[in-house]
């Protein structure tokens, strides 16, 4: 990891605990608690927060109150609220929700995961994505595309670099403002990350974001490899919570407090200062409310003394 650097080297953290963190939890969380979580995260310094997903409530009951969560969170001049969508209906709901500024659309790297996650093959998702991109931009929102299972699929196993390159090339044609590669089931290792980031940036010149799960305890190492490869936007989740209802074994996101600890101990700045101690507290409180201990290393061990401000 490169220490210090110019303002262009500052890292943006996209906080996903209100959406990816909660979506797979069986303990139902109230709308008020979700909205308070978002406000607390923003208060700690997070400036991009994925607050919900606009999906069918029967399939993902935890996200049934998407509009209400955004409404109770309230507008925030200091932060951008992000909504995830899987299809046209979700996109229509998202663009109609006051307070959502960014809309993140998922393109599956494999047909098997696409059918399980959103009832579409990769080709169908790309076709739908063209319409969604037009709608999102037409309403003045930022549009991002996340390529799911970019490293491995719970149904098909390894995703080849050739397959990923083809999907990325076609996803780029949707003209997103940002492209993300997601290690949905946490099977990537740093060597994979370096190769696939290099491959992707060879065809995609826009902002690249990475989404890591810590299923096999490689999340932090993968984040470091992505940073060394030039990535400056990373997803993470307070408390290390998260998972996907349609990806068996996709346990736990990279914990925000663990990522912050690594960045701050390495003197790598974030775009806005983020209070690592407060994020650790938020993660612990969230995990307690869900009935288990914090899943992050820092949540268990504590923030090491002398951590400088980001």
Rg (CA), the chain: 18
Cα–Cα dist 57/65, whole Å = 8
Structure tokens at 106: 């998922």
Q: Give the number of other CB atoms < 10 A from CB of residue 88.
A: 13
Phi and psi for 66 in degrees, rounded to 5?
A: -50, -55
Number of Cα atoms under 13 Å in the Cβ half of residue 85: 30
DSSP class of residue 307 equals P
Q: Give the number of other CB atoms < 10 A from CB of residue 124.
A: 16
The residue to which tokens 């943006």 are assigned:
12
Of 46, 155, 132, 51, the closest CA to residue 86 belongs to: 132
Q: Which residues of the chain form beta strands (DSSP E)?
A: 12-15, 48-54, 80-85, 100-108, 142-148, 152-153, 157-158, 178-183, 208-212, 233-236
Cβ pair 261, 299 in contact under 8 A: no
Structure tokens at 253: 């996101």
3-state class (DSSP) for residue 22: coil
For residue 146, list its beta bridge partners.
106, 180
Cα–Cα dist 40/130, whole Å = 35
Question: Which residues belong to the active site?
Answer: 244
Going 161 to 167 to 172 to 177, the CA torsion angle's sign is negative
């Amino acid at each position: 990891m490169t220490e210090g650097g110019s303002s262009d080297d500052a890292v943006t953290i996209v906080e996903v605990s209100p959406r990816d963190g909660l979506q797979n939890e069986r303990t139902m969380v109230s709308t008020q608690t979700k909205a308070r979580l978002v406000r607390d995260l923003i208060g700690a310094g997070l400036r991009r927060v994925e607050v919900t997903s606009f999906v069918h409530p029967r399939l993902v009951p935890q996200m049934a109150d998407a509009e209400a969560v955004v409404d109770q969170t309230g507008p925030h001049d200091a932060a951008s609220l992000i909504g995830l969508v899987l299809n046209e209906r979700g996109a229509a709901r998202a663009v109609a929700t006051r307070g959502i500024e960014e809309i993140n659309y998922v393109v599956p790297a494999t047909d098997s995961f696409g059918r399980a996650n959103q009832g579409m093959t990769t080709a169908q998702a790309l076709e739908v994505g063209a319409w969604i991109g037009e709608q999102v931009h037409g309403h003045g929102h930022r549009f991002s595309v996340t390529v799911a299972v970019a490293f491995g699929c719970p149904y098909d196993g390894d995703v080849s670099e050739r397959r990923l390159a083809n999907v990325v090339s076609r996803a780029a044609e949707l003209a997103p403002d940002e492209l993300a590669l997601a290690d949905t089931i946490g099977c990537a290792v740093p060597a994979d990350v370096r190769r696939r980031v290099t491959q992707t940036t060879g065809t995609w010149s826009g902002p690249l974001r990475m989404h890591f799960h810590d299923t096999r305890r490689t999340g932090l190492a993968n984040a470091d490899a992505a940073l060394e490869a030039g990535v400056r936007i990373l997803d993470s989740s307070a408390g290390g919570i998260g998972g996907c209802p349609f990806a068996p074994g996709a346990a736990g996101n990279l914990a925000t407090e663990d990522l912050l600890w690594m960045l701050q101990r390495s003197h790598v700045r974030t775009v806005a200062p983020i209070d690592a101690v407060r994020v650790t507290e938020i993660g612990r409180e969230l995990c307690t409310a869900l009935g288990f201990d914090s899943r992050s290393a820092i949540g268990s061990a504590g923030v090491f003394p002398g951590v400088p401000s980001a």
